[in-house]
Structure 1
Amino acid sequence: MEQSARPARPQSEAHELVAVILLSLVAVLTAWCGFEASKWGGDSSVAFSEASAARIEAADFDSQARDARGFDLAVYSQWVVAQAGGDTALAAYIEDRFSPEFAVAFDAWVADGQRETGPFKMPEYVPPGTEQAAEATARADASTKDALDFNEKGDNYSLMTVMFALVLFLAAIAQRGTSVIATRIVLGLAGTLALIGLVVLFTFPIRV
């Protein structure tokens, strides 16, 4: 006489139900982490691009300031030669051809009793492009800082993706458990990791 079919075990069914629920939940969380990692990675790339553009702009302004400084230095050198030779008329003529920025520094230098070695040492001397270069450099530094911050946030979400992948692996293993105790242990570990990951996710910023 054939043996009747073994009745379904309630514990086994419960374990399978828990595993399916855990798999479904973690699959959603994994997809969410991937989405957030992608968004933060995109923001990081944009910020790095903005930083690069700002640094190129700063380099252009620095070049402009160097050129202006070189011109002022050449004119001032002629003034020094004229003064040394006692040619006051030529010196006055050269002074009239000072750039506006250098003229301000020159007047401040003279008013200060020429204590500094030259007008270039005066704080009043700000060749064109200097301030713009500083502003562009500041923007570049800020964008770089933002890019690194965005990149770190994306890495955090990527790390959580790996953690949830481990949960998926454990939940899948639990469905092939050889004993009730082993299944419970693996499911408990998977559930604990999933709960920890969910709590950690609540501390992460969201980028939509």
Structure 2
Amino acid sequence: MTSSVTPDDSRTDWRELIAILLLSVTAILTAWTGFQASKWSGAMSISFSQASTNRIEAARMEATASRKLSVQVSLFTQWLEAYQADDAELAEFLQARFPEPLATVFPAWLDSRPLKDPDAPSTPFEMKQYVIPESVEARAADATADGKFREALRNNQRGDNYTVLTIGFAAVLFFAALSERMRRRGAQWALLCIGGTGFVILAVVLMTFPKML
């Protein structure tokens, strides 16, 4: 007794093979996109946390800089009062105790002859040389926080993109699986073609996305 494979049976085998391959590969890519969405979501959380840490550091440095500036302004004001009162001993006493950066800038300010030159800075604090290190560090920390915040937003968008792909691949799985439930061959091929077309489009989009391992 011999058996033969009809053309219809051959076509059925090809359709089933394509459906199985589509389901298998799509299932793997669905898991991969879900994994990537999770990774980028974690990266977003880390970036937001780093941004928050840098904001706190910037605020701490700015508070330190403001406290130092307040102390130095107070000392300089006292020196001015002593100078105007011709109390040279007190003026020298205060000048010897000027903290940095006022101690370094003050002689340069005196050399600019502020009492005679109208273009000279009215106080040492207006000179370019007067820089409190904590103020610079605060600006740097604030800039870093801005960068981390923007990075977090990018990571969030990337996670959302992968989530959309996961949903898309799930739709491909739906069409591929549904094609196996149809009785009419035309309906089976139609659903399989829809799923296959969606798979190709999503796979091309997936290749353009950044990956995180």
TM-score with structure 1 setting the length? 0.88
Alignment of 1:5-16 (within 5 A): 9-10=8-9, 11-16=11-16
For normalisation by structure 2, the TM-score amounts to: 0.86
In 2, the alpha carbon distance for the partners of 1:135 and 1:87 equals 42
From 143, 150, 155, give the equivalent of 1:145.
150
Q: What is the aligned partner in structure 2 of residue 200 from structure 1? A: 205
Q: Which moved more, 1:88-97 or 1:191-200?
A: 88-97
Distance 1:91 1:139 in 2: 42
1:181-201 deviations in whole A, cap 9, x for unaligned? 222222111101101111111
Deviation at 1:52, TM superposition (A): 1.3
Structure 2 residue aligned with 1:155: 160
C-alpha distance in 2 between matches for 1:105 and 1:62: 21
State the AA in 2 paired with 1:33: T
Listed as ranges, the gaps of 5+ residues in structure 2 are 1-5, 115-119
> Which of these residues, 118, 127, 136, is aligned with residue 132 of structure 2?
127
Aligned pairs for 1:20-99 within 5 A: 20-99=20-99
Percent identity between matched residues is 39
RMSD: 2.0
Tell me which residue corresponds to 1:185.
190
2:181 match: 176
How many residues are aligned here?
A: 202
Structure 1 residues 139-148 or 63-72, which shifts more?
Answer: 139-148
Where does residue 4 of structure 1 map in the other structure? none
The CA deviation string for residues 166-194 of structure 1, in whole angstroms up to 9 with x for no partner, is 11111122222353222222211110110
Q: Is the 8 A contact 1:68 1:128 kept in 2?
A: no
Is the contact between residue 57 and residue 133 of structure 1 (CA under 8 Å) also seen in structure 2? yes
Equivalents in 2 of 1:30, 1:159: separation in Å?
Answer: 10
CA offsets 1:111-159 (integer angstroms, 9 cap, x no match): 2222222111111111241122123223222322322222222222111
Structure 1 gap ranges (5+): 1-6
**Contact 1:64 / 1:128 at 8 angstroms: preserved in 2?**
no
CA deviation string 1:28-86 (max 9, x = no partner): 10000011111122122112212211211111111110100010011111112122223
Q: Return 154-163 or 101-110, whichever deviates more.
A: 101-110
Q: Which moved more, 1:31-40 or 1:180-189?
A: 180-189
**Amino acid in the other structure paired with 1:118:** T
- Please say which of residues 25-34 and 12-21 is displaced more in the overlay: 12-21
What amino acid sits opposite 1:42 in the alignment? G
Q: Please tell me whether residue 118 in structure 1 is matched to residue 127 in structure 2.
A: no
Q: Distance in 1 between matches of 2:151 and 2:111?
A: 45
d(CA) in 2 for partners of 1:56, 1:132: 12
